Amino acid sequence: MKIPYSDLRVRPDAAFPDRRSLDRPIVALLLTRGEKSVIAYATVDSGADNCVFPASIGLALGVDMPNPRSSLFSGSRDEPQVAYYEQIDVTILPMESEQISTDQEPLSFSLYAGFCDTLEHVGMGLLGHAGFFSRFEVRFHAALRYFEIL
Amino acid sequence: MQRQCVTPIDLVSVLNDAPPGEWLALSFKRDRIVAHAPRLVDAQKAAIEAGEAMPIMMKLPPPYTQIL
């Protein structure tokens, strides 16, 4: 599946005074658990160990939080964060561009996903190694502004 | 063979008037915000009731959008 990068606004700052937007490898996912489903975005993040999503998405899927399947992780700050894991079903939805057709087969798989409060402000998930990169070959073509999930 | 540059998906325009901090329900074509609310489930419900069967749920990214 070929997917265009998505363009997001950023505020210029001292280090990047001319930067007003960023290309990011984002996918649209249909997340399902039983009868409940949510379509949400996730960034394909080769630096993430696991696949995690904002807690609100878990709540919409009926995931109990807290639950016994907790796991601690950290970002760039040395502060532990907790995610609660649950088995869900995921479908990667095609995203069209002028040069990329949506006439591509969606990719569906089962995922042991984490849900955490600390991603709430980001409003989208992270697709990391366990469960995503462990399952798919991902090729980034950043210069051409698209990526492939194979 | 020269490979073609792809036009990225424009999430800048559609989020121009998005309320910060709230959950947004985008149309599946990503061309408008159908509903928004502090809680995801409320924004999703409002979008579905407005006729958008498959809203995409997200938040306006914070201005310091760069992530590690």
Yes or no, beta carbons of A98 and B61 under 8 Å apart: no
* Confidence at A98, pLDDT banded by 50, 70, 90: confident
Q: What is the pLDDT of residue B12?
A: 92
From chain A, the residues in CB contact with B8 under 8 A are 4-7, 23, 97, 145
Q: What is the pLDDT of residue B66?
A: 61
- Look at residue A123 and give its three-state secondary structure: coil
Distant-in-sequence, close-in-space partners of A79: CB < 8 Å, separation ≥ 6? none
Establish if A123 touches chain B: CB-CB under 8 angstroms: yes
Instruction: Compare A140 and A98 and report the one with higher pLDDT.
Output: A140
Residue type for position A84: Y
Domain segments of chain B as ranges: 20-59
* Confidence at B68, pLDDT banded by 50, 70, 90: low
| Least confident stretch, A36-40, A42-46, A105-109, B61-65 | B61-65
pLDDT digits (tens, 9 = 90+) for A62-74: 999 999 999 999 8
Averaged pLDDT score across all residues of chain A: 94
Angle A126-A127-A129 from CA coordinates, rounded to 5°: 125
Per-residue pLDDT for B67 more than 70?
no
Domain segments of chain A as ranges: 23-149
pTM for this model (two decimals): 0.94
Yes or no, beta carbons of A76 and B68 under 8 Å apart: yes
Looking at the complex, report in whole angstroms how far the Cα of residue A69 sits from the nearest Cα belonging to chain B. Answer: 23
Q: What is the pLDDT of residue B64?
A: 65
From chain B, the residues in CB contact with A123 under 8 A are 23-24, 58-61
CATH superfamily of A23-149: Acid Proteases (2.40.70.10)
Yes or no, beta carbons of A5 and B67 under 8 Å apart: no
Complex confidence, ipTM:
0.93
For B:8-47, CB contacts with A below 8 A are 8-12, 15, 21, 23-24, 28, 39-41, 44
Distant-in-sequence, close-in-space partners of B6: CB < 8 Å, separation ≥ 6? A2, A4, A5, A97, A98, A99, A100, A144, A145, A146
Q: What is the pLDDT of residue A4?
A: 95
Per-residue pLDDT for B2 more than 70?
no
Yes or no, beta carbons of B56 and A47 under 8 Å apart: no
Looking at the complex, report in whole angstroms how far the Cα of residue B5 sits from the nearest Cα belonging to chain A. Answer: 4
